Amino acid sequence: MASRIADFGRYTHAIVRGIPASLAKEALRSCPSEVDVVQARREHEKYQEILRTTFGLEVVELPADESLPDCVFVEDAAVVCGDTALITRPGAESRRGETKAMKEALEALNMNVVEMTDENATLDGGDVLFTGQEFFVGLSKRTNQRGAEILADVFKDYAVSTVPVQQGLHLKSFCSMGGPGLILVGSSEPAQKALKIMQQMSDHRYDKLVVPDDLAANCIYVNLPDKGHMLLHSTAEMFPESLKVLEQLKDYTLIAASNKEKTKVDGALTCCSVLINKKANM
Amino acid sequence: MTTEVSSETEVKEKAEESAAQLDQPEKATEETQEEVITEGEEKEKEEKEKEKEEKEKEGKEGKGISKFLPTWLKKPKSQAQEAPPSEEAISAGQQEGEGPVPEVNGHTEEVEEKETVKSEQVKETEAESHSNASADTEPAKEESAEKSPERSQETKEEQVEEKEGKEGGLRGGGGGVEGQTSIFQSPLRLVRKAKMKLVVCQVALLDGTDFTCEVEKRAKGQYLFFKVCEHLNLLEKDYFGLTYKDNHEQKCWLDPMKEIKRQIRSNNWQFSFNVKFYPPDPSLLSEDITRYLLCLQLREDVATGRLPCSFVTHALLGSYTLQAEFGDYDPDQPRPLDYINQLNIAPSQNREMEEKIFELHKSHRGMTPAQADTQFLENAKKLSMYGVDLHPAKDSEGVDLMLGVCANGLLVYKDRLRINRFAWPKILKISYKRNNFYIKIRPGETEQFESTVGFKLQNHRSAKKLWKVCVENHSFYRLNAPEPPTKARFLTLGSKFRYSGRTQAQTRLASSLIDRPSPTFERTSSKRISRSVDGAPMISITDVERDTAENGREHRLDLHSDSKINAPSAEAAAADCTSSDTKEPTKTADVEIEETIVVQEVSKATQPALVTVAVDSPAIPPAKQETREQEVKVQEEAVVPKEAATAKQESVSSESESEDEAEYHPNVSASTHMPEVKEEEEEEDKVEEDKMADENMSAPVVASLPVEITKAAEDVCKKEEESKREEGQGGVKRNAEKEMEVGRESEESTEEPMMTPEEVPNGVALAEDAVIGLVGHAEKQEPKMNGETLLVEPRPQVICCSEPPVVKTEMVTISDTFAAQKTEIATKEVPIVHTETKTITYEAAQLDGNGDGEPGVLMTAQTITSESLCTTTTTHITKTLKGGLSETRIEKRIVITGDCDIDHDQALAQAIKEAKEQHPDMSVTRVVVHKETELAEEED
């Protein structure tokens, strides 16, 4: 709260979770696909390694739970802002159990944990875009109005605007923050439409960077005191054209992470971690 | 009624006497004392005045309770009337005093005398005797203003003694006790003649104290505001304003440009000093004192929950508050720990939060109060609801929403979620009509057409309030300079209401020029008097009084007298529409007021230009001409027994602009005359209007009263109000209504067929209310209605025919281009007022008239309403294309209100002259003078 902009992209901790074998067969996906769990785990290892070493975060890894095939996508289980964490009520019923471990982990980190208990509310963290100044909540298959209301109630300091998600799983399936005041967004029509809505709804001005591939717009921005702007993005192998666009970002360190297997089950880069800034907490 | 009226008159006189005294209270003191009066009250007044003075002095020096005390000095003096049983402190003897209350006469007199110097006891008195004391109405209202915070009675009495002691000389050595008890025995009379009536205003300040001062009864809002700013030593005052509560307990901003008296309801002279425009970046403020006041406002906003924030933010803000008020954290000093419980920091304050606050407070060591305030503001300004003024509304489907007006535009919330946002630059027009609020949105890059979004407000007052807030916020934050006053021009858009203060740009500039050493000021603690959520001082007696005096009682009184005067009509109305209930004037009026004035412009015209001036002057029976406010109200009530009640209140007790609709074009300069309507847009409009016409033709006919009737009623009220106002000024104008129609032509003028109200198919014209509507619409009626040629036939029209229960009038309403969204036209039961109308038409010779039946193509049409204190000018401009010629017709209707002895001819001449001056290239072709006489109670 104290200094939103300056702190944007500053993190100290990350919560991740292992990949259960059940991911291959049972994880939810929007289109049928074969997932190589071993390859996925390898990717995930790499991902965690980047968080740990490149970004210097303290990574808390929760054990995989075979009964929760989607549990690796921890982002959906909690929304963390400042020292407050909202434990969500995921839209997919099969994923509701994922929040338990997440809650414990956040409590262990001394976060101010709030649970979404309303049975009419659903919210996936993947639908929540925090810009540093406000929230946008995608109203999607997984997130409803009530869920957004509860989020607004929990994070009272911030404006919470709703954005209809017409295509893709989550709001962040086609956009993410590429830095303070910079929204990365896919070029598809629904993505552009959502961006327009966000721009209209906001009192703040955002720059946008449009990448050809929607999924390539999902990146992780980290601001390191010593290294400056860092952006974790999908590999050139996956989205060569989009990478060219991202390369236009000046003074950014681009870090590629392969996410191929996880994208088969709609997992984007941001989905696999919950980032926390404990220092900012008072 | 008669008797009461006369007594009321007396009252005024007396009040004037006392007012005279007020004028020079200090000098007067010694002499006045010697003059003994028979009526005890006079002396009381005098005393009160003195006390008030003292109070003021104290206010400047001291803080807190002592400030409030002086007001109460009055109280002990007239124990007889006060002493609500609940007050323990009041002695039995005082309570006994209540005994005489039933004595109507004595009472009323007492009450009346206090007109200028209000005191609670009067209210109480009234409360006791309200059933029979209709004459008390006015005083009652004034009394209600005087809601001094009630401390313990003892304190007051002590204070009284002290005061009396100081004033001992006056008393001839009489002690304070004497002062309290002997008031009635040793009354003094004041001989001085009144110059100006003074009233005592009480302003709740942000630090929880009250500021009391006297202002002339007819002072404008800004006078009081400046006084308050002076008291506060505040230079950057443009961010602030005064609020008052209307009869519906709604907080309203006091318009600085208007008389206070006409804005406040119930003569409740109580105000709050508040931040009106939250500076988006408080660090740009020049002075610490400004930031301090902003902090105080925000602390209140946060504590009441109006400015929601998270736990952490509550704690952080609280810690800065502690730092500012107590300085560095001192672990050895236990006081803050106890204190914090009483600090009002958050709506849900708990131990955990308090600990967090202390924890954070420790980290602010070394921070000066000013720095702490700055930090406070830096954090508060980031809150998403910072500076957002919320107004409950509904969307077209009846879903509850909140509309938030802020520096950047208009926000739409559903529950806590922002579901839409309209930045000021996106908004082309803001308007309201009845309880509907509309914004016209600039088309987006991909959109072709403008769109209009409508919201439903609770009632038309809310809609108007929202509209005004929008106008003000837009002006303040977006403009470099406020729009010039519209009355200077003939053709301006929207209501007269405009933001009158400095814009943010101007105030920033002014701030940068502030050249004074930082004023020292004392930061008072957050542990202030508890306030109600909206910031009004919460004092027990205040509430009680408000209940009695402000709402129910006063109305009852008004109505009481009303029914006496206008019983016949009221009863008649009741007979016809059983639902008409004069006892419940507060019902939300379903009033349709549609200003439709036709104006045509002819660029190369064969068309004559014409000016229609309709002067309407209800000849009020002689008895009523010396109207006191009370009577005035009576008339209003009679005119508007039910439907228009709300509208009436609005117009009566306050703003001179009582239009129920208005427009504001945020991005259009006020001087824009002809809207540049694109072809497509016009088409669109037409389509919409056609649609609307259908709707209106079918739907609202259900025994609904034409809008105009109610509107007229409102106008009448306004007139009354005006006449009240003008009384003091020597009554320039009496009730008069003028309608002017100005046409423009570049060539020669031809005769313009014109329709006078008599020709109107409505035929009836007995409702005085209908006057405006009739005149206004007569000219616009469709040929099919009256066989008259139309001025603007071809343009899309919305026609609404409806039949009022009693008044057999048919109204034809033609919407303007913007009216597409304004779908509702119907109102219901019509009050019957028997009037006589006389219409005289002067017409310039015209060659063809536009009765040639040649249909023109409407290019544009617009309606403009502007108002000044005593005139309402409605201008309707239409542009039609007719046989290759573009024709502009301007029809201007001026309602001049004033005293009955107005020189109508002169007023008319003046109006025409003005119209000519404003439009030298147009000629006046028609003047309609419409006079209206309200028949006295012959029916009875």
* B304 interface with A at CB cutoff 8 Å: no
User: Between B194 and A244, whose confidence is greater?
Assistant: A244
Q: Annotated catalytic residue: which of A71, A81, A219, A271? A: A271
Q: What is the C-alpha radius of gyration for chain B, rounded to an integer number of angstroms?
A: 29
Identify the closest residue of chain A to B407 by CA–CA distance.
Answer: A203
A13 is catalytic: no
SS3 B394: strand
pLDDT at residue B908, rounded to an integer? 64
Residues for chain A: how many in total? 282
Which pair of structure tokens corresponds to residue A9? 């992209």
Torsion angle of the four alpha carbons B244, B246, B252, B258, in this order, in degrees rounded to the nearest 10 = -80
Q: Looking at A62-76, B238-252, B689-703, which range is the least confident one? A: B689-703
How many whole angstroms separate alpha carbon B380 and alpha carbon B317?
7
Q: Does residue B24 sit at the A interface (CB-CB below 8 Å)?
A: no
Highest mean pLDDT pick, B462-471, B628-637, B638-647, B720-729: B462-471
- Residue B794: pLDDT band (50, 70, 90) is very low
Interface contacts A/B by beta carbons within 8 Å: 77
Q: Which residues of A touch B307 (CB under 8 A)?
A: none
Distance to chain A for B421, nearest Cα, Å? 5
| pLDDT given for residue B419 in this prediction | 93
CB within 8 Å: B382 and A82: no
B251 pLDDT above the threshold of 50: yes
Q: In B, which residues are within 8 Å of A155 by CB distance?
A: 310
Residue of B539, B542, B632 lying closest to B123 (CA atoms): B542
Tokens of residue B119, six digits: 């005191």
- Report CA A250 to chain centroid distance, whole Å: 23
Q: What is the pLDDT of residue A171?
A: 95
Least Cα separation, residue B335 to chain A (angstroms): 24
B421 vs A contacts (CB less than 8 Å): 161, 200-203
| Contact predicate B243/B253, CB 8 Å | yes
Cα–Cα nearest to B291, from B251, B208, B232: B232
Picking from A162, A202, A282, the nearest residue to B312 by CB comes out as: A282
* Per-residue pLDDT band at A231 (split at 50, 70, 90): very high
For residue A140, what is the DSSP state?
-
Using CA atoms, how far apart are residues B667 and B140, in angstroms rounded to an integer? 45
Q: What are phi and psi of B917, to 5 degrees?
A: -65, -40
Chain B residues near residue A134 by CB distance under 8 angstroms = 384
Q: Indicate if the pLDDT at residue B626 is higher than 50.
A: no
Residue B301, sorted as left (phi over 0), alpha (psi -120 to 50) or beta, turns out to be alpha
Q: Residue B265 carries which DSSP code?
A: S
Average pLDDT of the residues in A133-137: 95
Q: Inter-axis angle of helices B65-77 and B40-61, to 10 degrees?
A: 170
Asked if B384 lies within 8 A of A145 by C-beta distance, the reply is: no
- Predicted confidence at residue B905, as pLDDT, reads 62
Facing residue for B420 by CB, picked from A84, A157, A201: A201
In this predicted structure, which of B329-333, B449-453, B505-509 has the lowest mean pLDDT? Answer: B329-333
CB distance A134–B384 less than 8 Å?
Answer: yes
CB contact under 8 A, B311 and A82: no
- Higher pLDDT, residue B331 or B89: B331
- Closest by Cβ to B421, choosing from A1, A112, A201: A201
Nearest-neighbour CA in chain B from A125: distance (Å): 17
Pick from A207, A213, A208, A268: which is nearest to A243 by CA? A213
Give residues with Cβ within 8 angstroms of B239, minimum separation 6. B275, B276, B277, B278, B279, B285, B290, B294, B507
Please tell me if residue B850 touches chain A, with a CB cutoff of 8 Å. no
The band of B470, judged by pLDDT with boundaries at 50, 70 and 90, is very high
Q: Between chains, do A282 and B316 touch, taking CB under 8 Å as contact?
A: yes
Residue B417: its chain A contacts at CB < 8 A?
A: 137, 145, 148-149, 152, 160-162
Q: What does residue B929 show for φ and ψ, rounded to 5 degrees? A: -105, 120
User: Of A13, A170, A229, A233, which one is the catalytic site residue?
Assistant: A170
| Gap from B506 CA to chain A (nearest CA, Å) | 23
Residues with Cβ within 8 Å of residue B529, at least 6 apart in sequence: B149, B208, B209, B537, B538
Taking CA–CA distances from A201, the nearest residue in chain B reads: B421
pLDDT of A104 over the 90 cut: yes
Closest-approach residue (CA) in chain A for B375: A2
Check A161 against B421: CB less than 8 A apart: yes
Do residues A190 and A164 make contact, with C-beta atoms less than 8 angstroms apart? Answer: no
Residue B27, chain A, CB below 8 Å: the answer is no
* pLDDT score recorded for residue A279: 73
A-contacting residues in B 363-402 (Cβ below 8 Å) = 379, 382-385
pLDDT score of B866: 57
- Region B251-275: what's the mean pLDDT? 87
Which among B817, B489, B749, B779 is positioned nearest to B602, based on CA atoms?
B749
DSSP lists the bridge partners of residue B405 as B389, B410
Task: Give the CA distances from residue B869 to residues B147, B393, B471, B731, in Å, rounded to whole numbers and listed in that order.
Answer: 29, 30, 19, 13
What digits encode the pLDDT tens for the residues B897-923? 544 445 556 666 666 667 666 666 666
Q: State how far the Cα of B134 lies from the Cα of B838, in Å rounded to an integer.
A: 34
Option in B310, B359, B414 nearest A155 (CB): B310
Of the candidates B313, B417, B420, the beta carbon closest to that of A157 is on B313
Chain A residue numbers touching B312 (CB-CB < 8 A) = 1, 82-84, 112, 281-282
B415 contacts on A by Cβ (under 8 Å): 149, 152
How near does any CA of chain B get to the CA of A114, in Å?
A: 12
Contact A149 B415 (CB under 8 A): yes
Q: Which residues of A touch B308 (CB under 8 A)?
A: 156-157
Nearest to B316 among A1, A152, A202 (CB): A1
Of A2, A82, A159, the CB nearest to B384: A159
Between residues B880 and B384, the one the model is more confident about: B384
Q: Where are the alpha helices (DSSP H) in B814-921?
A: 904-918
Top pLDDT among B236 and B790 is at B236
Residue A278: name the closest of A89, A60, A100 by CA. A60
pLDDT value at A184 more than 50: yes
What percent of chain B shows pLDDT beyond 70? 33
Pairing of strands B600-602, B451-456: unpaired
- Interfacial residues of A (vs B; Cβ cutoff 8 Å): 1-2, 4, 82-84, 112, 133-134, 137, 145, 148-149, 152-162, 196, 200-203, 281-282
Assigned token pair, A177? 């923050």
Contact B383 A145 (CB under 8 A): no
Nearest chain B Cα distance for residue A203, angstroms: 7
Tokens standing for residue A162: 């709703």
Confidence tier at B631 by pLDDT (50, 70, 90): very low
How do A207-211 and A182-186 pair as beta strands? parallel
Query: Which residue among A83, A161, A202 places its CB closest to the CB of B417?
Result: A161
Q: What percent of chain A has pLDDT over 70?
A: 97
Q: Are B417 and A2 in contact (CB < 8 Å)?
A: no
> Which residues on B lie below 8 Å from A152 (Cβ)?
415-417
User: Chain A closest CA to B193's CA: distance in Å?
Assistant: 59
Which helix H or strand E contains B44, and what residues bound it?
Answer: helix B40-61
Distance from CA of A110 to the nearest CA of B (A): 14
On whether the CB atoms of residues B612 and B739 are closer than 8 A, the answer is yes
- Tokens matching residue A160: 């919470």
pLDDT, one tens digit per residue, over B361-418 is: 889 999 999 999 999 999 999 999 999 999 999 998 999 999 999 999 999 999 889 9
Please give, rounded to a whole number of angstroms, the shortest distance from the CA of A84 to a CA of chain B.
9
Measure the CA–CA gap between B475 and B469, rounded to whole angstroms: 10
Enumerate the residues of chain B whose CB falls inside 8 A of the CB of residue A158: 384
- What is the 3-state composition of chain B as percent helix, strand, coil, each rounded to the nearest 5? 40, 15, 40
| Amino acid identity at B141 | K
d(Cα B538, Cα B95) in Å, to the nearest integer?
A: 25
CA-to-CA distance for B356 and B635, rounded, in angstroms?
A: 61
Nearest CA in chain B to A199: B421
Q: Convert the pLDDT of each residue in B432-454 to its tens digit.
A: 988 999 999 988 777 788 889 99
B301: confidence class by pLDDT, cuts 50, 70, 90: very high
Q: Is the pLDDT of residue B164 over 70?
A: no
CA distances from B1 to B494, B551, B557 (A): 41, 22, 12
Integer Cα distance of B852 and B832 in angstroms: 38
Q: Which residues of B touch A1 (CB under 8 A)?
A: 310, 312-313, 316, 379, 382
**How would residue A30 be classed by pLDDT, with cut points 50, 70 and 90?**
confident
The answer to whether B473 and B277 are in contact (CB under 8 A) is yes
Backbone angles phi and psi of A117, in degrees to 5? -105, -15
